Each structure stands twice: as C-alpha cells, then as structure tokens.
Chain A
Amino acid sequence: MTAAPVLALRGVSKRFGAVQALTDVDLEIRPGEVTALVGDNGAGKSTLVKTIAGVHPIDSGTITWKGDPVRITRPHDAQELGIATVYQDLALCDNLDVVANLFLGREIRSRHILDQVAMEQRAKELLDTLSIRIPSVRIPVASLSGGQRQVVAIARALVGSPEVVILDEPTAALGVEQTAQVLDLVERLRDRGLAVILISHNMAEVQAVADDIIVLRLGRNNGVFSAATTTGEQIISAITGAADNAVVRRQRRTTPEQEREQERASEDSTDGADGADGATGTEETQEAP
C-alpha cells in the first residue's frame, strides 16, 4: 500500500487447449509484504505463479517489473529479473549434501574448479542469517526431515539474491512445529524487504503471515483482501463463490451458538462485505498506484 509494486500483472490470460486457465488476472506484489494467493483446487493459483516463474508464458496481458514492461518466457528470464520459485515438490537432489543443493546450477568456481570452501562458507552465512537449523551442511538432503528440507528449498531460492520469492504450498506436507518454522522463515524474508507470494490452502496460516490476500476463482480475480481487516469467512466465501457454501453450512452445524454470535458481531464491525461478488474487495486495494 505504501511501496510501489515490484511486480505487477495486468489482464493476464492463459489458455491450455480448450481450458481457459486464467482470464484477465491482475496482481500486484510489493516489497516487504507477503501476498497470499488462495483459491480452490483448479482456481489457477499454480498456473498464475508458473506464468510469473516463466514455466508457462502468458497468452495476453502485461507483466511489469518495477514499472517497466517485461516478457517472461522461460524460467531463466524470471531468475534474471530476480524472481525465485520454491515448488511444491521440493526440487532438491536427495543424494547431494545441503551445500551442493543450495548452489546447484550456480556453483561458485575458482579457475573452473568447484570452490567447496567458499560455497560451504556462503551456505553457512545464508543459513545463519535465516536462522535455519540443520544438523550439518555436509549431510545428504535425504537425511533431513520434511521441515528441514523445506527450509533448505527456500534458502536455495535465496542464493541468487532474488527480490520476489514464490512459495507454492510450502507447508502442505509439514507437521505443526515444522509449519511454524517455515512461517517464521516467511516472516523473516518479508522483514528483509523481499516480496513473498505464498500459495496456501490453510486459512489460519494465510491470515497469520499474509498482508494481502488475493483470491482466485475459476481463473479470475475474485477479490483482494487485507488480512488485517478480513475474516476467514469472507475469504472462504470469495474462494467458493457463495456466502452459503459447504464450509459455512458445516460451521453452522458444528460451532457452538455463543461463539457464532461473537463472530457475527466482529464481522459486522469490520466490513460486512459479502465478498461473493468480489468487486468491493478488488477496488479496495487496487486504488493504490
């Protein structure tokens, strides 16, 4: 809201054969903010980040990087700009040690020979500044836990000093403790002034770390919400496209009467916007630039 967007998408569309995966999607990513991208399965979240990461080039629309229009047609382009992606399937090599994984594809060399010492030193520095705890940087990634592997994957994305980091469901397969570690890491990235795009299905987690929440539904924008002023229900309504949806009906059955009254009250005091049409939410944050 204060900083100018580092990355902005305008009217982006993407088509796969007969499937219109993305239609006129707008997106703004600002430095020092966590932007959550939510939506149901098949809403186009992964496709959207893949267009940014250069895996699927866009069919129409514009992408601007710090105000200048850019073309991202392959992963290399995105990396050049400073966009790093941590994919859902971690993309680590189990047989290589932590250092080798961190520098895979951009090894430090001196006179064409791998500089193991420099790489190990840089790796330790990087892991220390991120407060990442792993037993040793010289053990194969195969012997790390799921959470440790995830933070290594995220640290790997940071080796190239990116400005935008895309995390595709970073906590999907993690336990409680490990999820907390990853979310801590996300916050540290934000505090270092990076722009973070976080894809997640977990509303609690999204609301805990995100600044803005962008909802996609059936390949279209369906609202931009500020996490501070929005309830989980509003977001779920935007995700499912209706105020009366399975989630709400289930909640009505299971939540005790008293608590629900409380929620109603807090919801009324904030906005009361239905979120189902999405229009109000979108306008709210897009008047910034």
Chain B
Amino acid sequence: MSDVPREKQASPGPATAQDSPATAPGADPAPDPRLLVRERGLAGYLEDFRRRIRGGELGSIPVVVGVILIAIIFEAETGSFLTPRNLTNIAIYIAGPGIMAVGIVLVLLLGEIDLSIGSMAGLSAAIWAVLSVTHGVNDLLAILLALGAGAVVGTIHGFFFARIGVPAFVVTLAGFLGWSGLQIWVMGDEGTINTPRDSLVRDFRDFYFSDIAAAYSLATVITAGYLLALWRHERRRQAAGLPTRPTSEILLRGGLVAAAAFITAYTLNQHRGLPLALVIFLAVLLLADFMVRRTTYGRQIFAVGGNAEAARRAGINVERVRMTVFTIAGTLAAFGGLFFAAQSGGAAKNLGSGNLLMNVIAAAVIGGTSLFGGRGWVWSALLGTLVIQSITTGLNLMGMSSEIQYMITGAVLLIAVVLDSVSRRTQRTAGRT
C-alpha cells in the first residue's frame, strides 16, 4: 500500500497526465510498424499457411486428404471404384444427407445439436407420399407442404430451446422419438408408399441433364463466378489500401476449383450426364454459404455460437437467431427426406431411422465444422458426406456387411472429433503466446 502515495507524486492528476500521452510510446498515431502484413507473393502465402496449420487451423485439409486416400484404397481393392458409373451414384447419393448436413452445420455453428433430423426426414417423406399418392394432392404442393412441415417442426424445437431454455439436445431427442411416431401414424396402414412414375420426387434420383454441354457449362459458370468474385474482392481491397492476396494465390485457388469442377463434369458426362440431385445440392450449398459468410444473419450465427452473452450485449436477438437456425435445419432435413424417398423408391415407416442421423452429424464434423460451436463452414457438408458415402459405396463394392460399415463409419467419426478437439486445444495454446 505504501506505493500509493509515491504513485501519486509521480503523476498527481490531470496536470502532468496531460503531457504523458506525448511521451508514451503508444501515442504516435502513425501506422503501426508491428502490424503483421503478409509478405507478398507465394512465399508469404505459404508462410501464412504454415502458421495457420501450426496454430491448429487445420480447416479442410485432413478431409481432402482423406477423400483422396479413400478413393485410392478402394480403387486398388475393387478396381471399380473410380468408374464414372460409381462416381455418378456417389454424386446422387450424397445429395440427401448432404442437404441435411447443411442444416446440421448451421446448428453446430450455434454450438448446439439436432438429434431429430432423421425423424424429420422420415416425417417429411411420409407427409409428401400420403398427400400426393393417397390423397391425390398436386405433387409440387405436396412437396412444399412437406418442407413446410419440416419448418414448423424445426421452429417448435427452436421455440423450446431458445424461448423456454430447454437444452437443444433434449428437445431434439424428444423430437427424435415423437416425430418418428408421427411419421408411422401418418403412414397409417401402408407399410410403404411407392413413388409414382411421374412424380417430381422421382426426378431427384432419376433425372439427368444428359446433354454434355450442361455439366461443362455449370463447371464453367462455377469457375468463372468464383474467379470473378475473388478478383473483384481483391480489386476493392486494393482500392481501399488493404493488403491483398497475391495473384499467384488467386490463380492457384481458381485452378483448384476449375480442376475439381471440370473433372467432375467430365466424369459425369462419361455416364449419364449431370444429375439433378447434384445441381440442387450445389444450389443449397452456395445459398447457405453465401448466407453464412456474407450476410449479417450469418455473422450473427457465428457470434451466438462463439459467445451468446457477447452477442446479446451487441444487440443481437439471440433467441431469434437460435429459433430460425432450427427452422432452417428442419426445412433442410425435410428436403433431404424427399431425396431419401426418391432413392429408396418411396416413403416407408422406417425411412430416416437407423444410422442416417449419425451419418449426417458425422459428415458435418468430418468436413471440418466444430462440435463446440462458432467454427466451421458450409462446404464441410459436401466434404463430409463425400467421405461417408465413399466409404459406404466402397465397402458395398467390396461386399462388406453393414455391421463392418457401421464400425468403420464410427471410427472415422471418432477420428474427426479427435482432430476437432486437438485442433481446438492447439488453437488455445498457440493463441495465447
């Protein structure tokens, strides 16, 4: 306590405090020389990349490496994995779980979980089938009503979670049971309802844009759009005097996107062309990615997932964000359910049960979205479902039984969660130096 008077003598009040900013080292308003501006050129980019890896920001690297490894292994084992036919099948089968995984990514970004998506998918398929087939409702209207049911169900979950304060885990666990009960009740006496020949839902599996121009033009549009967006963004940054990416990085990124797009397009054209399912899935991904990264609402999702109290104090309506995210997740689960109906030839009492829920959640996590909230990206839905579906398809080709598949998928999920936890810990320690 004896240093209190001494401190007072050192700077007694405003008289000398006035001139202390002038002598303080931090008072110079010139640009900070210590700002870590990245080195120009590819070397700087690689340096930055290394720093991120060391800091625990693994991003999507492990999963991309994983997909490539899986493809190589199964191709070596079966010899028929990398055929256009098999790859087209994978492209169609990832659409359903992938669309559901987009919803799960959003829920995970909030730091929550939705255990009811399997039941919601089944309920949606049941509602569509009963309305469309049994009651003869217009097909498109039946689809919209099924999606609407998903939205309502999701909102109910959101309400109990955000307004009442019940943990999302418990609410959706109740939903998991409740909605699959409703699904069976809706199906009534029918065990299964087959998809009618002329139904739109059948197109989710069977429709291909068979003209080879379709796939190539989509690949061109995606590549050009990506490069244009990147280029315009960098131009604006340059005009504003902010550090920009090196041209080599833009070209590298553009090259990777172009390679992925055109190789996919070429492969699909070798079989039956561009499947409608993949187009819808890509559209959902692009829309969701735009929403998450470029809109205020997306920013709010990240903020609530990172620190809900901080978000509340910043004036964000936390309850609204939470409720609407569950609404979106419910709608997307319902949409995904229709794809499952398409793939299995119709709605069934047990559609959406089994390992669907775990596969979808695993996909989101494997793709690089954190279970702990606030970290992740929409494209992990694509990457993760690609991993899961590749494993499933590959094991099927090898004639493995489903129990082996369960164990392998479980192990892959465990690896992904371990990576997530370790990367989170590395971030903590690397961050606080």
Given known contacts A129-B29, A142-B427, A208 and B302 CB-to-CB distance under 8 angstroms: no
Tell me which of A4-12, A19-27, A183-191, A280-288 binds B: A183-191
Q: How far apart are A237's CB and chain B's nearest CB, in angstroms? A: 13
Residues of A within 8 A of B27 (CB): 131, 184, 188
Q: Which of B236-251 contact A (CB under 8 A)?
A: 236-237, 240-242
Contact in complex: B306, A133 (CB < 8 Å): no
The yes or no answer to B136 lying at the interface (CB within 8 A) is no
Contact in complex: B294, A95 (CB < 8 Å): no
Contacting residue for A143 out of B3, B295, B311, B432, CB 8 A: B432
Tell me which of B32-40, B161-169, B338-346 binds A: B32-40
The yes or no answer to B65 lying at the interface (CB within 8 A) is no
Contact in complex: B55, A143 (CB < 8 Å): yes
Q: How far apart are B18's CB and chain A's nearest CB, in angstroms? A: 8
Contacting residue for A228 out of B12, B28, B233, CB 8 A: B12
Q: How far apart are A193's CB and chain B's nearest CB, in angstroms? A: 14
Contact in complex: A207, B431 (CB < 8 Å): no
Q: Name which residue of chain A comes closest to B2, CB basis.
A: A255
Q: Name which residue of chain B comes closest to A108, CB basis.
A: B296
**Size range of the chain A interface in the assembly:** 35 or more
The yes or no answer to B307 lying at the interface (CB within 8 A) is yes
Q: How far apart are A118's CB and chain B's nearest CB, in angstroms? A: 7
Contact in complex: A133, B307 (CB < 8 Å): no
The yes or no answer to B374 lying at the interface (CB within 8 A) is yes
Number of B positions contacting A (CB below 8 A): 60
Tell me which of A37-45, A99-107, A167-175, A214-222 binds B: A99-107
Q: How far apart are A261's CB and chain B's nearest CB, in angstroms? A: 12
The yes or no answer to B305 lying at the interface (CB within 8 A) is yes
Q: Which of A93-147 contact B (CB under 8 A)?
A: 93-96, 100, 104-107, 109, 112-114, 116-118, 120-121, 124, 127-129, 131-136, 140, 142-145
Residues of B within 8 A of A134 (CB): 35
The yes or no answer to B315 lying at the interface (CB within 8 A) is yes
Q: How far apart are B376's CB and chain A's nearest CB, in angstroms? A: 10
Contact in complex: A191, B237 (CB < 8 Å): no
Contact in complex: A145, B432 (CB < 8 Å): yes
Q: Name which residue of chain B comes closest to A185, CB basis.
A: B26
Contacting residue for B3 out of A112, A181, A204, A231, CB 8 A: A204
Q: How far apart are A78's CB and chain B's nearest CB, in angstroms? A: 11
The yes or no answer to A83 lying at the interface (CB within 8 A) is no
Contact in complex: B315, A105 (CB < 8 Å): yes
Contact in complex: B31, A128 (CB < 8 Å): yes
Give 18 pairs: A residue, B residue, CB < 8 Å, sorted on A.
A91-B309, A91-B313, A93-B310, A95-B305, A100-B299, A105-B315, A114-B296, A121-B240, A128-B30, A136-B37, A180-B24, A188-B27, A191-B21, A203-B4, A208-B17, A250-B1, A254-B1, A266-B5
Name 10 extra pairs, CB < 8 A, besides A116-B233, A140-B431, A255-B1: A75-B313, A87-B313, A95-B302, A105-B311, A113-B295, A117-B237, A131-B32, A187-B17, A228-B15, A250-B1
Please provide the 3 A-B residue pairs with the shortest distance between their CB atoms, ordered closest to farther.
A228-B13, A143-B431, A105-B314
